[in-house]
Amino acid sequence: MFFVTPAYAEEAPAAATGTDAHAAPAAGEVHTETGVAEGEHARGPFPPFDSTTFASQLLWLVITFGVFYLLMQKVIAPRIGAILDQRHTRISQDLEEAGRLKAEADAAVQTYEGELAAARAKSNAIGSAARDAAKAKAEEERRAVETSLSEKIKAAEVRIADIKAKAFADVGTIAEETAAAVVEQLIGGNAAQADVAAAVAAAKKEA
C-alpha cells in the first residue's frame, strides 16, 4: 500500500548563483525528498498512525478493497465455482456409475441364483428319473429271471417225472428178469413169464 506523505514545509529556495546546489543543507532546512526537516525523523509519528495521512490511507484502502473485490468476483470466484461444479458433476457421475454397477451386480447375482436353483431342480429330477428307471429295469429283469427259472423248474419237474415213470417201468422189467434168473438157478429150468410177472406184481403190492 502506498501512502502520500504531505510536506511539512516548502522547499528552500535555490542557492545564489555561484554556490553548489548539492551542498549540505543548512540547519533547519527541509529535506526535499521526505518533506521533513533535517533532524526531525526521530520526533515524527509512525506514518500509519499519523492523523494527517488518514484520508489518503482510507482512499487507498477503498481502492485496494475494490480491486480485490473485483478480482474475487470476476476471476477467483468463477474459477472456484467452476472447479466445485466440475467436482460435483464428477461425483454425481461416479455415484450414478456406482449405482448402475451395483444394480448390474445384483441382477447378475439373482440370475446366477435362479440358474443354480434351476440346475439343482433339474439334477434332482434327472436323479429321480434315473432311480425310477433303474428300479423299473431291475424289477423287470427280476421278473424275467423268475419267469425263466419257473419255466426251467417246470421243465425239470416234467423231465424228472418222465424219468421216474420210465425208471419205475424199467424196475418192473428188471425185477421180472431178475426173478426169472433166480428161479432158473434154483430149479434148474425156465419159469413161465406170466408166473414171474404175477409174483413181481404181488411183491409190489406187499411192499
Would 179 be classed as within a structural domain? Answer: yes
Task: Please state the pTM of the whole predicted model.
Answer: 0.35
Q: What's the confidence (pLDDT) of residue 119?
A: 93
Would 173 be classed as within a structural domain? Answer: yes
Would 177 be classed as within a structural domain? Answer: yes
Q: What's the confidence (pLDDT) of residue 166?
A: 76
Rounded CA-CA distance 163/97 in Å is 96
Q: Report the C-alpha dihedral over residues 172, 176, 182, 184, rounded to 10 degrees.
A: -170
Would 167 be classed as within a structural domain? Answer: yes
Would 67 be classed as within a structural domain? Answer: no
Give the number of domains in the chain. Answer: 1
Q: Which domain holds residue 190?
A: 160-206
Q: Give one word for 29, left, alpha or beta, with left for phi > 0 and alpha for psi -120 to 50.
A: beta
CA distances from 85 to 43, 49, 91, 181, 195 (A): 57, 45, 10, 139, 142
Which cell goes with 147? 419267469
- Is 87 within 8 Å of 37 (Cβ atoms)? no
Which residues, listed in sequence order, are joined to residue 30 by a DSSP beta bridge?
A: 37
Would 39 be classed as within a structural domain? Answer: no
- Is 64 within 8 Å of 1 (Cβ atoms)? yes
Would 165 be classed as within a structural domain? Answer: yes
Rounded CA-CA distance 53/58 in Å is 9
Count CB atoms within 10 A of the CB of residue 98.
10
Q: What's the confidence (pLDDT) of residue 207?
A: 55
Would 180 be classed as within a structural domain? Answer: yes
pLDDT by 10s per residue, the chain, length 207: 444 444 433 343 333 344 444 444 444 454 444 445 454 445 667 777 777 788 888 899 999 999 999 999 888 989 998 999 999 999 999 999 999 999 999 999 999 999 999 999 998 999 989 989 998 989 989 889 989 888 889 888 888 988 877 776 766 677 767 777 776 666 766 666 666 667 666 666 655
Which cell goes with 83? 472447479
